[in-house]
Amino acid sequence: MEWFIDVFDWTIPIAGGGLLVREVVGNLFGLASALGGMVRRVWAWPVGIIGNVLLLTVFLAGVFGGEDAVNLLGQAGRQIMFIVVSIYGWVQWHRSKKEREAGRDAPESTAITPQWASWPVRLGLIIALVGGTAAITPLFRLLGSYEPVWADTWTFVGSLLATWGMAKGWVEFWLIWVAVDIVGVPLLFSAGYYATGSMYIFYGAFTLAGFFVWAHARAHEKPEIETRMPDPTLQSGSHSDASDER
C-alpha cells in the first residue's frame, strides 16, 4: 500500500510549496462535469461525483494528510452534499432523457429542457442562501473551519442550492454559481488552495456563459405539445382524417 500513499500525495512543485495532484485532477473532473451540464448530458453527474470524492480528500486536510493545509469544512461538506444531490440529479436527468426520447420532443442527446423558476422559487432561493449561511456559520466556526467562516458557509449553501437547481432544470442555477464563485475565489486563495481558487476564476466566466446557453435553449426548445397548432380537421368534425394526419 505504500505505492498508493505515494501516488495519493503526489504534488506539483510551485514557488513556496506545491499543488496536490488530486486537487488538480479533482477540479478537472469538476470542469468536465460543468461542460457536460452546460450541454445537458447525463454523464455530467457521475463525472462530477468522481471529482467530488477527490476534492473531499483535499479539503479534509487533517484526515487525509497535508499538515500545511487548513480544513475548509464548508468546502469538504459541499463535496459530500454534491455526491448526494448528484445521485438525485443523475436519476432525474436519466428519467427525463428517456421520457424526451420516447416523446421525440427534443434532441436525443440532451437530458432536459431548461425552465425558468417561478418568482416564489427565486425568492425562496435567495432567502435560503442568506438564511442558510447565517444559520450554519456558527456550527462551522465551532467545528474549526477556516476564517472568514461565513464565506466558507456561503460556498457550501450556495453550492447545495445550485446543484439542486441544476437537477430541477432551472436556468437560474447558473447565477447561484456566480454568487458562489465571487466569495469562493478569495477564500480559497487565502487558505492556500491555489488550484481550486484558479479554477473558480474560470468557473465565474463559465457559469455566465452557461446561463446564456440555457436561456437560449429555454427559448428555442419548447416541448412539442406546447408548439403544435390545433388541427383544423378536429374542429370540422372529421375525426378519421385527423387521425390519418397524425
pLDDT at residue 12, rounded to an integer: 67
Distance, C-alpha 86 to centroid of its chain: 8
Q: Are the beta carbons of 73 and 58 closer than 8 angstroms?
A: no
Q: Phi, psi (5° rounding) for residue 17? A: 165, -140
SS3 20: strand
Contacts of 164 (CB under 8 A, 6+ apart): 85, 173
My answer on whether omega of the bond before 148 falls inside 30° of 0, hence cis, is yes
Of 114, 49, 115, nearest in space to 86 by CA? 49
Contacts of 163 (CB under 8 A, 6+ apart): 81, 82, 85, 86, 89, 173
- Whole-structure pTM value: 0.68
Interior CA angle at 180 toward 179 and 183, to 5°?
90
SS3 92: helix
Q: Are the beta carbons of 89 and 44 closer than 8 angstroms?
A: no
- Strand-pair partners of 18: 13
Q: What is the pLDDT of residues 82-120, one digit of tens each?
A: 888 889 889 888 888 887 777 655 455 566 789 999 999
In this structure, are strands 17-20 and 11-14 parallel, antiparallel, or unpaired?
antiparallel
Of 95, 97, 93, nearest in space to 106 by CA? 97
Q: Are the beta carbons of 169 and 113 closer than 8 angstroms?
A: yes
Contacts of 166 (CB under 8 A, 6+ apart): 37, 89, 173
Distance, C-alpha 203 to centroid of its chain: 11
Per-residue pLDDT of the chain (246 residues; tens, 9 = 90+): 554 455 556 666 665 556 778 888 888 898 899 889 888 898 999 999 999 998 888 877 655 555 545 556 667 777 888 888 889 889 888 888 887 777 655 455 566 789 999 999 999 999 999 999 999 999 988 888 888 999 989 988 998 899 899 889 999 999 999 999 999 999 989 887 777 788 788 888 888 899 999 999 888 765 443 434 344 444 444 444 444 443
Helices (H) and strands (E) counted in the chain, each on its own, are 12, 2
